[in-house]
Amino acid sequence: YQRRVHGECLYVNKERMTTDNSGRLGIAERHISEKASLRIAKLAFQTARERRKTHARLPMVTAVHKANILPVSDGLFLECFQEVAKEFPDIPSNHQLIDSFMYKVTQNPSRFDVVVAPNTWGNIISNGCAPMVGGLGMVAGMNEGGSLIVGEPIHGTPKHLEGKGIANPIAAMRAAAMVAQRLIPSIPIMYYFEKATEQVLQEGLCLTPDIGGTATTAELGTRIAARFEALLSLGTESEEVFRDG
């Protein structure tokens, strides 16, 4: 599970072109604020604490950075992370350089739980790790800002699939489930959704082309929605697992 700061880092979109003795020189600004870094670190630790209720593993928060090369900007991010970590003594934490992290996560992703990073590194992590779980069509994200939340697939707009009806709907459905879970915390919506998705994928009877099948977007989406509805209506076993953690 990843947390990253939107609207900062290189994504402030402040570039300029100048010249030096060698010719043209492109310069990009990178912004890392104390306020946003403290906030995202706190959200990461809160997420780890919440996940402990539904995942049979010890929580862990890992900060990913490049403070050895960027001691001012990523140094501030890491400093804020370590400051917030003191407020959550029950949640173990560590930090990794982005290049070291990508090497280790591709070797053994299970060693990590919640990952928090500045925006640029976070974008690399989310897209780089997507193939481990079936590709970009499987992965969703949620933007949180104050009183507003927006769920979305991480893949953006796959224009090459427009109008063909074969895009994987799981990322969009997962985003909707994430938002619903936040709005209705008393019901384990994400548990039901993940269980329904897992069952449908394991059956292998209705898969879109990106994950090895021939089904359409509507066919896979309908099958997962029906399985989700069935699990939600039965409920008892799922709720016991959710509550017992």
Task: Decide if 65 contacts 118 (C-beta within 8 A).
Answer: yes
Print pLDDT tens along the chain (245 aa).
666 666 788 888 899 999 999 999 999 999 999 999 999 999 999 989 888 776 767 889 999 999 999 999 999 999 999 999 999 999 999 999 999 999 999 999 989 999 999 989 988 998 888 888 888 889 888 777 767 888 888 777 778 888 999 999 999 999 999 999 888 988 889 889 999 999 999 999 999 999 999 999 999 999 999 999 999 988 745 444 444 33
**Pairing between strand 148-153 and 2-4?**
unpaired
Instruction: Say what the pLDDT of residue 57 is.
Output: 75
Task: Decide if 166 contacts 217 (C-beta within 8 A).
Answer: yes
Instruction: Say what the pLDDT of residue 157 is.
Output: 73
Both tokens assigned to 140: 């969703």
**Pairing between strand 114-117 and 61-65?**
parallel
Instruction: Say what the pLDDT of residue 239 is.
Output: 45
Per-position b or e across 173-208, b if 16+ CB within 10 A of its CB: bbbbbbbebeeeeebbbbbbbebbbeebbeeeebbb
Instruction: Say what the pLDDT of residue 243 is.
Output: 40
One-letter amino acid for residue 220 of the chain:
L
160 Cβ contact partners less than 8 Å away, ≥ 6 residues apart: none
3-state per-residue secondary structure call for the chain = CEEECCCCEHHHCCEEEEEECCEEEEEECCECCHHHHHHHHHHHHHHHHHHCCCCCCCCCEEEEECCCCCCCHHHHHHHHHHHHHCCCCCCCEEEEEHHHHHHHHHHCHHHCCEEEECHHHHHHHHHHHHHHHCCHHHCEEEEEECCEEEEEECCCCCHHHCCCCCCCCHHHHHHHHHHHHHHCCCCCHHHHHHHHHHHHHHHCCCCCHHHCCCCCHHHHHHHHHHHHHHHHHHCHHHHHHHHHC
Backbone angles phi, psi at 107, to 5 degrees: -75, -45
Is the pTM higher than 0.75?
yes
Instruction: Say what the pLDDT of residue 143 is.
Output: 78
